[in-house]
Structure 1
Amino acid sequence: MMGKAALMDAIAGTNRGLLATEAQKQAILAAIANLEDFNPTPRPVEAGNLLDGNWRLLYTTSKALLNLDRLPFCKLGQIYQCIRVETTSVYNIAEIYGLPYLEGLVSVAAKFEPVSGRRVQVKFERSIIGLQRLIEYNSPVTFIQQIEAGKKFAGIDFAIKSDKQQGWLDITYIDNDLRIGRGNEGSVFILSKT
């Protein structure tokens, strides 16, 4: 599809948005809007087979995520959003790199509730922050299995009061390997299925 190729070209070289200039940001938003007009899935929230799985972030305007790269001696690694439709769970995982042996991880576990054919309400429940070695982090899949098994992790592992920490996300485009979302804080997210 031409629109997808144009979007991929627009985000190329922006390092998930960290290096995007204002002109690039505007071009990317235009490419997103163009692709959203041709969403092959009119009610994305109901397309559990497409939604379910592990997604890797390709581009975002989220300051909360991009600011992780501004921590001293740290560089943002891969960012994943893993969705488990059956349990209405979502796991956001950001890998942090820097000094040798001090690779970190910032993760948030949440529940989502469909409120329309394209919008989900998200309630954050748990945050886990720590060194990958101490947490014994190998991959998003094994990490999520440990969370779901109830494991408490070394590092900072705490419950979040979900009545205060919540938001919504509109899924504005989804197909077999690409998802676009727009969040309540005005951020956009482009993810590819892993």
Structure 2
Amino acid sequence: MPKARLLDAIAGKNRGILASKIDRQAILAAITELELRNPHPLPLTTAIDLLTGNWRLLYTSSQSLLGIDRFPLVQLGTIYQCIRPATSKVYNIAEVNNLIPGLNGIVSIAATFTPVNESRVNVQFNRSIVGLQRLINYTDPDRLISAIESGQKFTAIDLPINRQEGKTPAWLEITYLEESLRISRGNEGSVFVLTKN
């Protein structure tokens, strides 16, 4: 079963942090095999309700995302991608665990998306929030998203992200979607495997 093969391949790889080059090749082959069996090849028009919600990252090849784990004294915690199609918003939230008690952090990017076709969206990053969980009263993604949407400013590094003129937009292609599993590919060649939280 392709789905079981993929889940077995990514098990124990800590979202890709512990994946060797051979592991990454095997995982990519399992992803490609599952993508060929995508039950919703037009997710933005026929399965938008399945896309909605909070997705937890199981695996990625994105070195910029996994690189958060390389900072001294910190360990990458749970990573979420929260999709709100009704408002064309997406929120990437990475929990960062610190080896010093009380210094757990959060890295969040708020973005808007525009469908390009039935499976791909262009993504415009709008706001970056980096801070300590206790200072921004972080408990869970939904509460953080509500605070962001209400316009709240945080005791954190809270900055707008301005798109550079002439720069090609970031995009995300949904290549597999079902009730509890989603696979996406990004413009930088990264792949993401997520489960509905």
Give the TM interval when normalised to the shorter protein: over 0.9
Cα distance in 1, alignment partners of residues 192 and 174 from structure 2: 9
Equivalent residues in 2 for 1:123-138 (5 A)?
123-138=124-139
Equivalent residues in 2 for 1:36-185 (5 A)?
36-46=35-45, 47-98=47-98, 99-163=100-164, 166-185=169-188
Secondary structure at the counterpart of residue 29 of structure 1: helix
Residue 48 of structure 1 and its aligned partner are, at CA, apart by: 1.1
Secondary structure at the counterpart of residue 83 of structure 2: strand
4+ aligned runs moved over 6 Å, structure 1? none
Aligned-partner residue type, residue 73 of structure 1: L
1:49-68 alpha-carbon deviations (Å, 9 max, x no partner)? 01100000000000111000
Cα distance in 2, alignment partners of residues 56 and 122 from structure 1: 19
Q: TM-score, normalised by structure 1?
A: 0.97
Aligned-partner residue type, residue 146 of structure 1: A
Cα distance in 2, alignment partners of residues 71 and 93 from structure 1: 17
1:141-184 alpha-carbon deviations (Å, 9 max, x no partner)? 10001101110000100111134684001100000000000000
Gaps in structure 2 of 5+ consecutive residues: none
Q: May I ask how many residue pairs the two structures share in their alignment? A: 193
Residue 72 of structure 1 and its aligned partner are, at CA, apart by: 1.1
Aligned-partner residue type, residue 100 of structure 1: P
Indicate conservation of the 8 Å contact 1:123/1:163, yes or no.
Answer: no
Residue 45 of structure 1 and its aligned partner are, at CA, apart by: 1.9
Percent identity between the aligned chains? Answer: 58
Aligned-partner residue type, residue 147 of structure 1: I
Aligned-partner residue type, residue 120 of structure 1: V
Aligned-partner residue type, residue 87 of structure 1: T
Aligned-partner residue type, residue 42 of structure 1: P
RMSD over equivalenced CA pairs, Å: 1.0
Gaps in structure 1 of 5+ consecutive residues: none
Indicate conservation of the 8 Å contact 1:91/1:107, yes or no.
Answer: yes
Secondary structure at the counterpart of residue 31 of structure 2: helix
Residue 103 of structure 1 and its aligned partner are, at CA, apart by: 0.3
